[in-house]
Structure 1
Amino acid sequence: MKLTGRDAAGWIAGPRETAAGTLLYGTDAMRVALKRQDLVAALIGPQGDAEMRLTRMPAQSLKDDPAALDDAMRAQGFFPGRRCVLVEDATNAHVPPILAALKGWQPGDAHIVVTAGDLKPASALRKGFEAHPAAAAIGIYADKLDRAGIAAELDRAGLRDPAPDGVAALTQWAARTDPGDFRQMVEKLAIFKLDDPAPLSEADVAACAPVSTVAALDQIVALVADGRTAEIGPVMQRLESQGVAAVALCIALSRHFRMLHALACDPGGPGSGIGRLRPPVFGPRRDALLRQARDWGRIRLERALRELVETDLTLRSSSRAPAMAVMERAMLRLSLMPCPDSRTRDRAG
């Protein structure tokens, strides 16, 4: 069977006893490994003897011993419970022994889990699992976690009934990180919230979020938008030492100022415009966006966007000027725009 979406998630969460095998394939090895981890845990459980009911074998070993998979599938262990045979890094070169074992599977045999890289629809391995009535072929794609995926990760870590601003913060974080990093983040949150009855909040997420390039980008965008000119230099030095490109800074700033411009241009005012943002914004970030949109005003925001477009063109041109110096100069100029003495003139204009 070929499974996608909810059907695939349901199968990975708990394959039925009559399921013979599962093929997990995709271009992103980390995503495939995470799904494989979830599937194996669902098959053999978290008990102390679970590892004794799991047999691992690299697919390459099947070339030397084609019957190894069939033998492992039929072997009877000393520990009661469901068994699993994991075949990793399979390719079309390993199709005959894998499909032969799948064809000979009988109730009571171990569940066969096969992981592979990208497989085309015409792949013999993929077609074999899709055609088998008691097996599943599941493609793992580089999609960002949706709300259902985030809820599943929270439930897995024991973080139930999070606050809306906490969910919103995690949604934003999931949109810009890999599933593996997101899972580690949720596990860190679970430890952080141990014995804390309060719902998971945005402040909790901020306290546990790793200090990364993404966080530093958000920090310098906030410095520029808030007009904190004196603090820009040190953060720029840290970003440059981390290898952040000037173009990436320009893109981050442009995205933020376009958002502020949309809020400032909303017919109902920034308070009305912020309710239209997707995903929704909550907590301190919502307050900061509203304050920045009101402080800058439409005219200065349009001037800032023109400045950023010109900077972006300079960075992408054949100019020999140091890219980070060009970007830092633009940020300093932007940070000086929303000064208190000019706000009255902007609103009047």
Structure 2
Amino acid sequence: MNTTLGPHIFCFMKESVQDRPAAVCGADRPTARESAFTTITLKIFGKRERKNHMNWNIITDSSCDLLPSTSPDGRIRLASVPFTIRIGERDFVDDEHLDTMEMLYAMEQEHSAGHTSCPTPDAWLAQFEQADCAIAITISSQLSGSMNSALAARDMALEKNPDKKIVILDSLSTGPEVLLCVKEIERLIRHGLSFDDIAAHARGFLQKTKILFALSSFDNLIKNGRIHRLTGMLAKALGIWGIGSGSDEGKIAFESKARGAKKVVQTLVSTMKEHGFIGGNVAISHCDNLALAQTLKNSILDIWENTSIEILPTRGLCSYYAERGGLIVSY
């Protein structure tokens, strides 16, 4: 019996068509010239905002597992605009009040396929209006209409205030990769770089980071018809995990499978080596599986001691797709 899970591409994070806003022109995707420029290192930028006392909003959709927060000096605010997750007859708003465990339980009890709706333009607009400088990072535009919503909101905000500084970055990813970019932007703000330099550097940063995922449950894929029910059930019974990555185009693909948690960790670490990882910053998101996330962290540190690793639980959207037990890692 064939239990193969891949290697076909499947954009399993797409919302229903009716939940996506219409396409908007003028996306802030880098040109070839911009891409070359963004590889310039921080030392070469040199340009700094004179006495940078502006207020900054770093805004993500809830594909990023960081919760909203404000820096101690009040200058840097991390904001989040929520997806909505529909399970049966219930809507779960993916904000800081969401009980993720309750949502997971509802998913596991529901027999029909759920779906997600991206943040509205009004939700993005409300955040753009709250700071002098706004940098928004969205889930991959290949997986969701969130970026189109953000672009529509940017246009509305600039109509009201043409001098406001707003940039929209397409992460071409999700989850912990967005988190790493947020942390990098915070660092650049603290170094006093200009708005334009920060935006350019962040684009280049997103082109260099990677994302991997490991799934132990395939219920969502079964319910949505992506995997045959018998194949998915057999894989789960045998302890087979699906392991994949994000492509440069911002899509998601299963690439291999592993049997058992130990083999999963070995495969993830081996893939990091293949990608040329030599140490640095790593973010691991887990869906109710802190023990395995910690095991992965220890395995990474055994090889790359000069690595800073942050572990955090998945919020609603990443929990919906990773499902209970799943891991997502970016570096």
Report which of the two structures shows the higher radius of gyration computed on alpha carbons.
1
Q: Higher RCO, 1 or 2 (CA under 8 Å, sep at least 6)?
A: 2
User: What is the TM-score normalised by the length of structure 1?
Assistant: 0.23
Structure richer in strand, relative to its length: 2
TM-score normalized by structure 2? 0.23
